[in-house]
Structure 1
Amino acid sequence: MSEVSLEAFAAAHADGAAVIDVREPGEYVGGHVPGAVLMPMGQLPSRTSELARDQTVYVICASGNRSGAMTDYLVRAGFDAVSVAGGTSAWASTGRPVVTGQRPTA
């Protein structure tokens, strides 16, 4: 699995990186990284056409387990994808911004 540190992800996020959140809708509403697009694990294989192949895709979940599995899937499918170490939990625990209460659009 390709994994990126929280610090490296924070820098990429500040530069407008593509972020997908592979958690379930209820988890996403409870708090997610600003700009993260919800693509639950079960939907991701049928939604890869929504992802850009010309940029790194940052995959995040709660702690890194689901994002690791989905990163492996995306890499095998030809994407430049990396899992965010520690997930949304680590992101929030370091005081970085989290969006809550926002209904997913997908």
Structure 2
Amino acid sequence: MREVDLDVFASELAEGAFAIDVREPDEYAAGHVPGVRTTPLSELGAHLAALPTGRPVYVICASGNRSAWAAEHLEAVGFHAVSVAGGTSGWARTGRPVVRGTDARTA
């Protein structure tokens, strides 16, 4: 499992990277990175078919712990997964935009 910092993630996201947020729905609604799909860790297995197999799946959470676990799990079942160090909390702390609300795309 690979891990990237927020600057690399921001650059990849701007280029159209596929990213999922594995926090629970209430956390996601409280603030998430624009363009990142909600895929709660508790439901990850049910959403595997919706994840791309031919490109990296960036995984973000609040700080990087759940995303690291999820990325390891995804790697174990054949995906190329990348955990985002610092998570959504770090993203917000650096002044990057955060979207609030429940209108979300689910992977």
**After TM superposition, is the score higher than 0.5?**
yes
3-state SS, counterpart of residue 83 of structure 1: strand
Matches within 5 A, 1:47-66: 47-66=47-66
Consecutive unaligned residues in structure 2, runs of 5 or more: none
SS across alignment from 1:47: helix
SS of the aligned residue for 1:26 comes to helix
- Could you say which residue in structure 2 is the equivalent of 1:23? 23
C-alpha separation in 2, matches of 1:84 and 1:27: 17
How many Å apart are 1:103 and its aligned residue? 3.3
**2:71 corresponds to which residue?**
71
Q: Deviations over 1:21-76 (max 9, x none)?
A: 00000000000000111110111112100000011100000000100100000001
What TM-score do the two structures reach when normalised by structure 2? 0.94
Q: Structure 1 segments of 4 or more deviating over 3 A? A: 102-106
TM-score, normalised via structure 1 length? 0.95
Q: Percent identity?
A: 54
- Give SS of 2:41's match: coil
